[in-house]
Structure formats: C-alpha cells, structure tokens
Structure 1
Amino acid sequence: MIRVLLVDDQRLVRAGLRMLCEDCPDLEVVGEAENGEEAIRQAGLLTPDVVLMDLRMPGVDGITATAQLTAARPAVRILVLTTFDDDEHLYPALAAGAHGFLTKDSPPEDLLDAIRRTAAGESPFSPRVLRRLVRKAVGAHQKPEEVVDLTERERDVLALVADGLSNAEIAARLRVAVSTVKTHITSLMTKTGADNRVRLALLAHRLPPRPR
C-alpha cells in the first residue's frame, strides 16, 4: 500500500485527488494539507510514502516545503503537481529535491502511474516538461559525459527513458520483464555516472548515432 499525502490550497482539488486515489486499492490517502507549513507537520505525523505537492500556496509555498521535507525526511518522496511548468517553478522545485513533476492537465491515469513510479524510486515527468529539460541542457553546450560501451539493449532502454516511458511501458515495448528493464537502467547509471532518469535522458540526446 502506497501512503499518499495531498498538498494543495484548493479544497476542491484535494477532494478530486482523494476520490481518484481512493478508487485504487494500492493507494491510501493518509492526510491532506492546504499549505507547505501544514504539509511539513502532517508528513512528520503520518509518514507518507509520497507527497503530492502543489507549488503556489499561501504562507509556506511548495518549493520551500519540498526543500525542508527532503532535508528532514529523505525517505519521503515528493511528486510536484502544479498548473505552472515554467522555468520559474520547474528548476527551483527540482533544486529543492522534488522527485517528479507533473502538470494538473495530465490525464488521471498518468497521475496515478506517476504516484506509483515515484514510490518505486523513479522520477516521472510530464512529457513536455522532460522535453524542455532536455532542450535546455542540450542548448547549454554542456560537456558530454565520457561515453562508455553500451549494449544494443541498453541503448534501446536509454532511448525509451529519454521518451519519458516508465519501466512498465519500456518492458511492454521491448517485450521483456520489468525486472530486466530495472537491471538495464541500473547498468546504465553505473556505466554513465548518471544518478537519475533525467540525466539518463539528457545523455541519450548527446550520444553519437549508433554505428551502422
């Protein structure tokens, strides 16, 4: 069972999120908070697995709350759910320690999948957010990591990570077990030194083409 804390200053939004989560047998909404200060207090009392965090709230905002929660309770994973995906909100949220970033216009099934992926240690992003991260990094002329030898299957997995697919979606696309995908991703991180899926996605766009 994944324990979820809902954080949003709009009661109607929280009610909708609660109804969505409570329809899933593997999700349990353990509490709600209407601002960052309350979220920090509730997280201490309720020990959620995932905090679904809004960013713009009165008093202590979501970015400040994310930074304080990740510092005090590193086992708690933060999934941002916000209306705003501009640089002013995206990069501070990631710097504060957010593990994933979705916009509120995401389909309900994508949100539920993102909660599960966040709890499982993945870093889900709305597809357009991931594309913006990649474009910004590629446009910054960053020095590529030293390219090591990757197997054909590792390159296949890496390309699908860059497309924003989850482990389950990659497994279905490649017709392999989810555990096999996890093994490949662990290998990719070890070989490249990337410590999360976003950096793997950035690396995918800087790799030279496969030899023919």
Structure 2
Amino acid sequence: MKKKDIKILIVDDHQALREGLRVILQLEPDFSIVGEAEEGKQAIELARALAPDVIIMDMDLGEMNGIHVTELILAQQPDICVIGFSMHTDPELAKAMRKVGAKAYLTKSDSPDQLISAIRRCSAHF
C-alpha cells in the first residue's frame, strides 16, 4: 500500500519563489503541491478549501503578515503543520511563529534539503 502523499500549500507574495519551490518540492515522490497563495486572505481560504498537511508560510504577505495568518489558520485547523519561511533572520520572528503554532522556521537562504527535512518531520505527526 502506497504511503499517503504529503499535501503542501505554498504561501509567498513572490510568484517566482512560489514557482521555484513548487519545482523543487515536486521532485519528491511523496509530496503533492495542492495550492499556492500570494497573500494572507487567499492563504486562509485555500487552507480551508484544500486541507493541506503542511503550509510553507512567508512572513511578508501584503496586508497581513505570516504570523497573523498562521494564527488564524491554526485556530480553525490545528492539525496543519506550518513552516515559517522568510528572508528575515531575526530570531524574534522565529520565536513569534512558534508561539502561534508553527512547527519550524527556516530562512530563504537555507538549503532546499533543510526545507524538505522540515516537511518530512511535520509528516511524522500525521
């Protein structure tokens, strides 16, 4: 019996980054990119509609930041594993993301392997 695919929602305000992540993550045989969002409201709607296992969450999303969006999503869907993913290296942002329920925080300068590992660690919870 095939192991269940890990359903991933990518949330980032930069289209090129979303597309790059999709290309990299689709190389993993058990990863399934179920959607992409470029801003917070769209992320909340897609999380509700698509029920992803993992959300890769940027911090800068226009009107809302990733911390607030994560908090709102997890209040309704606590089983989703959120991974903060940002260009910001400030440890206070990582701390704030974890405080609202994110399981990990990576910077965009981290290697793709680190992101893949974080997704796999999340998948151990479901």
| C-alpha RMSD of matched pairs (Å) | 1.4
Hey, what does 1:164 align to over in structure 2? none
Structure 2: state its 5+ residue gaps: none
Task: Tell me which protein shows more strand as a share of its residues.
Answer: 2
Hey, what does 1:61 align to over in structure 2? 65
Tell me the matched-pair count.
122
Structure 1 stretches (4+) deviating beyond 2 angstroms? Answer: none
Matched, 1:49 2:44: no
For residues 120 and 96 of structure 2, what CA distance do their matches in structure 1 show? 23
> Of the candidates 56, 77, 93, which is equivalent to residue 73 of structure 1?
77
**How big is the shift at 1:21?**
0.9
For residues 117 and 39 of structure 1, what CA distance do their matches in structure 2 show? 22
For residues 119 and 40 of structure 1, what CA distance do their matches in structure 2 show? 21
Q: Is the 8 A contact 1:66 1:96 kept in 2?
A: yes
For residues 113 and 87 of structure 1, what CA distance do their matches in structure 2 show? 20
Instruction: Report 1 or 2 for greater relative contact order, CA contacts < 8 Å, sequence distance ≥ 6.
Output: 2
CA radius of gyration, larger in: 1
Matched, 1:3 2:7: yes
Q: Is the 8 A contact 1:35 1:62 kept in 2?
A: no
Matched, 1:24 2:28: yes
Any idea what SS the aligned residue of 2:32 has? strand
| Identical columns (%) | 37
Structure 2 residue identity aligned to 1:26: D
Scaled by the length of structure 2, the TM-score of the pair is 0.91
Offset from partner CA, 1:43-90 (integer Å, 9 cap, x none): 000000000000112012100010011111011110111111214412
Task: Tell me which protein shows more helix as a share of its residues.
Answer: 1
